[in-house]
Each structure stands twice: as C-alpha cells, then as structure tokens.
Amino acid sequence: MSSIIESAKHTFRMESQAIADLEGQLTPDFEQAVLEIVKCKGKLIVTGMGKSGLIGRKIAATLASTGTPAFFMHPADAYHGDLGMISKGDIILGISNSGQTDEILRLIPFLQENGNMLIAMSGNPDSALARNADYHLNISVKEEACPMSLAPTSSTTATLAMGDALAIALINERGFRKEDFARFHPGGTIGRRLITRVGDVMRSDNLALASPQTKLSDVIIEISKARMGVAVIMEDGRIAGLVSDGDVRRAMQKYRDAFFNVTAAEVMTRTPKTVSAGARITEAEEIMRQYKIHSLVVVNEDGGLAGIVELYDMMLDNIAEG
C-alpha cells in the first residue's frame, strides 16, 4: 500500500481515537456548563488564539445557528477596545489546548472583576486557565497526528468535537426545532427547504386535467401537453382521481389492443395522496418517500384542486436557491 495512503489512514485512526477518548474525559462540569448557558440571559463569547481561535470561530457559529446567542472575540483585540463587547451577564468560553496561552490568561482578572462566568476548554486540567475557570471541559489528547507532534491536529479535532457536543446538548436542552433552525438559515438551501411552502413551488396553471370518461389515449396527450407526470381527474368540480404515467404504462401492458378504449376511470387512483398548499415542502417530500410517489395533488382549504407539486419541481427549486 502507498505510504501516502497509509499516512492518511494513520491520521484518521489517531484523530478518531482522540474523539473517542473524550467520552471518558467528560465530568459533571460539562453538564453544569450546559445548564448555565441555557440559563444565561446574555451572550456566550468564545475566545481563543491561533488554531484554537479558528476552531472557536466555528464553535461560535454553530452555537449561534442553533439557538445560543454567541460570537467570537479575538483575545488580542480584547485589549484594544473589544472588552467593551462583554456585558456582565455574558459567559466566556476560553479555548486553549495548553491552558497557558498568555492572551487568554490576561483576560481572567477583567472577567473576575466584571463578574463573568468562565468556561475553560483545554487539554490540561491543572493549567492556569482550568484552575481559574468556573467549569473545565477536558480536551486532552494522547498525541497529535503530526509525526513531529508539533502541528495541532488531534487536539484541534478534539476541540471541535467538544464544541459540537456542547452545541448538541444545548439543542436538546432548549428543545430547538427544525423550524427554529430554518429561521436562522433563511438564505441557505437547508433553511429554504424548511420554511418554503408547497404553494410556493406547486404548479397551478396549465395542469393536465381530464374527466373519468376521457380515453387514456387523450389523457396521454394532456399529460404530454402539460409536461407533467400525472393528470388530475375531475368530476363535477371535485377531484375524482389521479392518473400517472405509470398507470398509463401498466394499462398498456394489461389491455394491449383494447388500450385505446380504456377510460381514465378504469385505471385512476380514486384516493390520491394530497397535501395542502400551506404545508412545508419537507412534509410533501416525506409523503412522497413514504408512498414511493413523485407527485402530489395540492388542495386548498375547501379540499378543491389548488395545483400539483412534483418532486422534480422541488429539486429544481432547491438547486436554483442552493
């Protein structure tokens, strides 16, 4: 095997082990830190230098997007005016693998005087940062994946994993929902899927419509003209059924020469799956997955036909916005 591939696999094994070891390093401090953050009326301010700072930015972003008001503050900038960002009710999450980073330690007197709670995330429970913190989250690793044990690798992976564990625990404690997530991500594909309604993507014009007495050959023409995969069968102004292109193919196999005399009523689904125009598209997708179908009849409040939503249309909408 290539030494390059083996090097990559070795890195994966070491960093995977570093994450697995975190489970045994959890203490009651983790639970108490989560509970304090939930109770916090202010913000969670994440700070860290170097690689810890880069990971800290990601942790702060994850927390902010999942219901915990949070932002990153560079510790070096704190002494040039950014300390003004810290209010008395804020909690500080200080990240330092060694726990001895000078720029972080210099913040401690101010935080103590200001009455701020300090949560330390470090790889050394006996460090100055850990000793001066209200709660300590242990992110120690046995060794870095770097062969010289110099570049932060296993340690930054462990830090990121601990930050994710913190975020997920907070999600569960807050009862954070998909809808809440969508409100913080309205511009992204994920958020759009969670907040977009069926009525926003359904087709309501130029639908393929037919009556129960319509011959299947004519139903095919209507489906083709509408460039859809189904035709809605209407009778006396109400939805009587649905004929899909799959229904047409099966009818051709079954009736063969008699196919052109078959009517929509003989093959249509009389109780087609429906969805309201106000439902989220994720609900429509779930119905389609459950019943292994690609189209849904969209109904209005009175149960009348509002349109058709097809999986293809929802996919195009997501691609366009994503």
What does the DSSP assignment read for 108-122?
HHHHHHHT-EEEEEE
Where b means 16+ CB within 10 Å and e means fewer, 95-122 reads bbbebebebbbebbeebeeeebbbbbbb
Rounded CA-CA distance 56/72 in Å is 7
Q: What is the pLDDT along the chain (322 residues), one digit of tens a residue?
A: 679 999 999 999 999 999 999 999 999 999 999 999 999 999 999 999 999 999 999 999 999 988 899 999 999 988 877 888 899 999 999 999 999 999 999 999 999 999 999 999 999 999 999 999 999 999 999 999 988 887 899 999 999 999 999 999 999 988 876 665 655 555 555 556 666 788 888 888 999 999 999 999 899 999 999 888 899 999 999 999 999 888 888 988 998 888 888 999 999 999 999 999 988 888 888 898 899 888 899 999 888 999 999 876 665 455 344 4
Positions of CATH 3.10.580.10 in the chain: 198-321
Residue 111 near residue 42 (C-beta atoms within 8 A): no
Question: Which helix H or strand E contains 92, and what residues bound it?
Answer: strand 91-95
Q: Return the closest-CA partner of residue 223 out of 238, 246, 203, 207.
A: 207
Q: What is the pLDDT of residue 193?
A: 61
Rounded CA-CA distance 226/209 in Å is 9
Predicted TM-score (pTM) of the model is 0.66
Q: How far is CA 229 from CA 61, 236, 277, 293, in A?
A: 42, 23, 19, 11
Q: What is the CATH number of domain 198-321?
A: 3.10.580.10
CATH topology of domain 3-176: Rossmann fold (3.40.50)
Name the burial class of residue 37, with classes exposed (0-12), middle (13-18) and buried (19+) by CB atoms within 10 angstroms of its CB.
Answer: buried
What are the structure tokens assigned to 294, written together? 């690609």
Strands 230-235 and 209-210: parallel
Tokens 């989560």 belong to which residue?
34
Positions of CATH 3.40.50.10490 in the chain: 3-176
